[in-house]
């Protein structure tokens, strides 16, 4: 059987973790089985449609490197791939269901439906359409159509019996027909289809073999099964993957942190890291392997390894992955990746001067091991480009020291640093170690006030390398400045 799968987003919001995971799973499944991956834009909800969301969809897919075999931009034999350009197809199919006795025109005005809902609420009955128009006499229907009374087309859901379908992950699922939404609308009065009709018609006409999507769509399946049956079509295979959850077991949302891919991109996550990590939320290759390139996933993905339990999205784990992928970059690549952040944060001239670029070249090896996301770069290396305008007192005088000892350490440190250019890094390290020992201190404690004076922070890239980039003169000047401030404090 030839595999044809699709990602069918509605452009109503930015692409988020859950959606992109669905896209990736479909894409990998298609690639691994030499099938086709189709992108279909489900843009029939005009009230919620957003051009920004549509642009974001293409940008995100492009940034992640997910290409589609059929869809917007590339075409294909089953287009158009925007549902808003297929309205005639849906009308034709809705009319076909009327002819087959599987659907009916409903002329109930919105006011009647509203009243009905209110009454049901008052009586604490289940809310739903009372099928008022289901059995209208044919003459009445013809007359109302002729009079152009606004109408919708509704599906005739069987009143008895049950609907059964099979989900690859969840097994057999049964639902009593009387518990299904009562005769859902297929075609709205403005000629637009509902999700149910457009989704089923397109999946069938586009030859989709497997529907692989999140479990939030599971409640729609019984209705879809009735639509397939009503047309006399064979439904595709279904596979509904558990939702992406936050660590607290709730559906992943803004409350947990960033969810849109755009935000992750802006913060400096790499596409490789996101793809790798997102693919492991609800899927695994075996019980141990964690690193996968996109190309490997394109070969190794199987539905069998999807997880039945909800996938938990762990931001810390993603940071870890991102750090690992940053370290895999060579210095030139990483430089190209961090430059936009340094420019945006105003640390470099635009275009950067030669001197600035030299500092950037020198700092890349110093920060590579420490960066978890690219946006952290400016905070980490700001001291190399601008003077430190403010020191925090808690930082400058370490917990176990007072102002006097701090001044002593800074003075000794200054002496050593003045001599730095005469020695190699190893020699300097040894000199520092000896000095700390002489003063009865651990090297880390001895270095702390010096680190803060030079970098403005208690955490910084390796200090010796940083001083080399900054220049001895500037480093010494900063230490002297801090000594002066501290002298006033004693």
* CA separation for the pair 267, 344 (Å, rounded): 12
The residue within the footprint of ligand GLU, chosen from 3, 4, 5, 10 (CB under 6 A), is 10
Binding flags for ligand GLU, 175-204, as an x/- string (CB under 6 A) = ------------------------x-----
Residue 260 sits in the site that holds ligand GLU (CB under 6 A):
no
* Window of 5-13, 73-81, 265-273, 313-321 that interacts with ligand GLU by CB under 6 A: 5-13
DSSP for 363-385? Answer: HHHHHTTT-SSGGGHHHHHHHHH
* Window of 7-15, 128-136, 228-236, 422-430 that interacts with ligand GLU by CB under 6 A: 7-15
DSSP for 141-194? Answer: HHHHHHTT---EEEE---SSSEEEEEETTTEEEEEEGGGSPSS-EEE-TTSPBP
Binding flags for ligand GLU, 27-66, as an x/- string (CB under 6 A) = ---------------x------------------------
* Window of 4-12, 404-412, 447-455, 467-475 that interacts with ligand GLU by CB under 6 A: 4-12
Contact 182, 128 (CB under 8 A): yes
Smallest separation, CB 12 to ligand GLU (Å)? 7
The residue within the footprint of ligand GLU, chosen from 3, 4, 5, 9 (CB under 6 A), is 9
Smallest separation, CB 213 to ligand GLU (Å)? 4
List the interface residues with ligand GLU, window 361-380 (CB under 6 A).
none
Smallest separation, CB 42 to ligand GLU (Å)? 4
Nearest residue to 368 via CA among 415, 414, 332: 332
Among residues 30 and 447, whose Cβ is nearest to ligand GLU? 30
* Window of 3-11, 321-329, 403-411, 424-432 that interacts with ligand GLU by CB under 6 A: 3-11
DSSP for 200-248? Answer: HHHHHHTT--EEEEEGGGGGGHHHHHHHHHHHTPPP-EEEEEPPEE-TT
Structure tokens at 13: 């919001």
User: Active-site residue among 254, 344, 393, 411?
Assistant: 254
Q: Could you give the angle at the alpha carbon of 180 between the alpha carbons of 174 and 183, nearest 5°?
A: 140
Among residues 16 and 382, whose Cβ is nearest to ligand GLU? 16
Contact 134, 102 (CB under 8 A): no
The residue within the footprint of ligand GLU, chosen from 3, 4, 5, 8 (CB under 6 A), is 8
Residue 59 — left, alpha, or beta (φ > 0 → left; ψ -120 to 50 → alpha)?
alpha
Give the number of residues in contact with ligand GLU, rule: CB under 6 A.
Answer: 7
* CA separation for the pair 144, 130 (Å, rounded): 19
Quickly count: other Cβ atoms within 10 Å of residue 461's Cβ. Answer: 21
* Window of 6-14, 25-33, 63-71, 253-261 that interacts with ligand GLU by CB under 6 A: 6-14
Q: Is 254 a catalytic residue?
A: yes
List the interface residues with ligand GLU, window 197-236 (CB under 6 A).
199, 213, 217
Smallest separation, CB 399 to ligand GLU (Å)? 53
Smallest separation, CB 232 to ligand GLU (Å)? 21
* CA separation for the pair 490, 406 (Å, rounded): 11
Contact 18, 241 (CB under 8 A): no
Among residues 90 and 104, whose Cβ is nearest to ligand GLU? 90
* CA separation for the pair 221, 408 (Å, rounded): 75
Would you say the C-alpha torsion 183, 189, 191, 192 has a positive or negative sign? Answer: negative
Among residues 72 and 323, whose Cβ is nearest to ligand GLU? 72
* Active site amino acids: 254
Where along the sequence are the contacts to ligand GLU (CB under 6 A)?
8-10, 42, 199, 213, 217
């Amino acid at each position: 059987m030839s595999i044809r799968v699709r990602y069918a987003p509605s452009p109503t919001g930015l692409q988020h973790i859950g959606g992109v995971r669905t896209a990736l799973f479909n894409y990998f499944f298609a690639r691994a089985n030499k099938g086709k991956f189709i992108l279909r834009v489900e843009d029939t909800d005009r009230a919620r449609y957003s051009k920004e969301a549509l642009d974001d969809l293409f940008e995100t897919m492009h940034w992640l490197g997910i290409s589609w075999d059929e869809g917007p931009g590339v075409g294909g034999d089953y287009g158009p791939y925007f549902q808003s350009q297929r309205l005639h197809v849906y009308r034709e199919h809705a009319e076909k269901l009327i002819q087959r006795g599987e659907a009916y025109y409903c002329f109930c005005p919105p006011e009647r439906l509203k009243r009905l809902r209110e009454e049901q609420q008052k009586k604490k009955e289940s809310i739903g359409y009372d099928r008022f128009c289901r059995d209208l006499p044919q003459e009445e229907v013809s007359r109302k159509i002729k009079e152009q009374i606004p109408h919708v087309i509704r599906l005739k859901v069987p009143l008895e019996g049950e609907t059964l379908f099979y989900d690859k992950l969840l097994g057999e699922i049964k639902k009593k027909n009387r518990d299904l939404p009562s005769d859902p609308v297929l075609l709205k009065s403005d000629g637009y289809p509902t999700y149910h009709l457009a989704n089923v018609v397109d999946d069938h006409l586009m030859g989709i073999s497997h529907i692989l999507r999140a479990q939030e769509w599971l409640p729609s399946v019984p209705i879809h099964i009735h639509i397939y049956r009503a047309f006399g079509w064979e439904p595709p295979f279904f596979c509904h993957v558990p939702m992406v959850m936050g660590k607290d077991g709730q559906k992943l949302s803004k409350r947990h942190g960033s969810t849109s891919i755009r935000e992750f991109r802006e913060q400096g996550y790499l596409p490789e890291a996101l793809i790798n990590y997102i693919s492991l939320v609800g899927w695994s290759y075996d019980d141990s392997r964690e690193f996968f390139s996109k190309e490997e996933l394109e070969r190794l993905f199987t539905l069998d390894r999807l997880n039945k339990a909800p996938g938990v999205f762990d931001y810390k784990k993603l940071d870890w992955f991102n750090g690992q992928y940053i370290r895999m970059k060579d210095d030139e690549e990483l430089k190209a990746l961090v430059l936009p952040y340094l420019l945006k944060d105003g640390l470099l001239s635009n275009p950067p001067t030669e001197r600035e670029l030299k500092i950037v070249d020198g700092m890349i090896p110093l920060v590579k091991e420490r960066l978890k996301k690219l946006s952290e770069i400016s905070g980490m290396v700001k001291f190399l480009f601008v003077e430190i305008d403010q020191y925090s007192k808690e930082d400058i005088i370490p917990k176990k020291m007072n102002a006097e000892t701090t001044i002593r350490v800074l003075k000794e440190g200054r002496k050593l640093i003045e001599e730095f250019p005469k020695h190699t890094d190893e020699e300097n390290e040894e000199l520092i170690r000896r000095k700390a020992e002489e003063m009865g201190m651990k090297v880390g404690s001895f270095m702390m006030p010096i680190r803060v004076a030079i970098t403005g922070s208690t955490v910084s890239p390796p200090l010796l390398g940083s001083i080399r980039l900054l220049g001895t003169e500037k480093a010494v000047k900063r230490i002297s400045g801090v000594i002066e401030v501290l002298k006033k404090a004693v």
